[in-house]
Structure 1
C-alpha cells in the first residue's frame, strides 16, 4: 500500500460503514475515519460529492477515486489495485 491515506466518511449507526471497516481491517489497511455527524465540514463534503445526499460510507482513495456504499466485493477489488 502507498503511504497516502484512505479517508472513510461515515456514521456510528451505519451498518455498511461497520462492514467497510471490517474489510479494511481484514486487509490490514489503515484508514482515516471521519464521522459526518460530528464534523460539519465533512458532512458538507459528503453531500457535495453525492449530489446533496449524506450517503455513507463515502470512501476517498489516494488516487482521487471515490466509492460510495461499496459492496464488500467492490471494496476488496479496489484495495487489490492499490497494492
Structure 2
C-alpha cells in the first residue's frame, strides 16, 4: 500500500492527533510540513479546494480529508 500523505504543521493540535492515531494503528504515512514549505502549503490548499484548514490527509485512492476526526480516518481506512 502506498503511504498516506498528511499535510500539517507541528503547532496544529488536529495534526498531532491524526498522526498519533495513524501511528497507533500502524498506518504508514508521509508527513509534509506546510509551515516551512510554501509549495506544500499551496498544494494542501489546492487539495482542500481553497480551504486553509489542516491537516489535509490524502489517501492512495485519491480520497482527501480535511481536518478529519479519528472516526473519519478509521472509516476511510476501514479500520
One fold, TM greater than 0.5?
yes
**Range with greater deviation from structure 2 (45-54 or 25-34):** 45-54
Distance 1:32 1:68 in 2: 16
**Displaced runs of 4 or more, over 2 A:** 49-53
Matching residue within 38, 41, 45 for 2:39: 41
CA distance in 2, matches of 1:48, 1:25: 26
Question: What is the deviation of 1:24?
Answer: 0.3
Q: Residues 35-67 of structure 1, C-alpha deviation per residue, up to 9 Å, x if partnerless?
A: 101111110011112233321000000001101
CA RMSD of aligned residues (A): 1.3
Counterpart contact for 1:23–1:76, Cα < 8 Å: no
Of 33, 45, 54 in structure 2, the residue corresponding to residue 56 of structure 1 is 54
Q: Structure 2, unaligned stretches of length 5 or more?
A: none
Task: Return the TM-score normalized by structure 2.
Answer: 0.90
> SS where residue 78 of structure 2 aligns?
helix
Aligned match for 1:14, one of 5, 12, 15: 12
Displacement of 1:22: 1.0
Q: Which consecutive residues of structure 1, in runs of 5 or more, have no partner in the other structure?
A: none
How many residue pairs match? The answer is 79
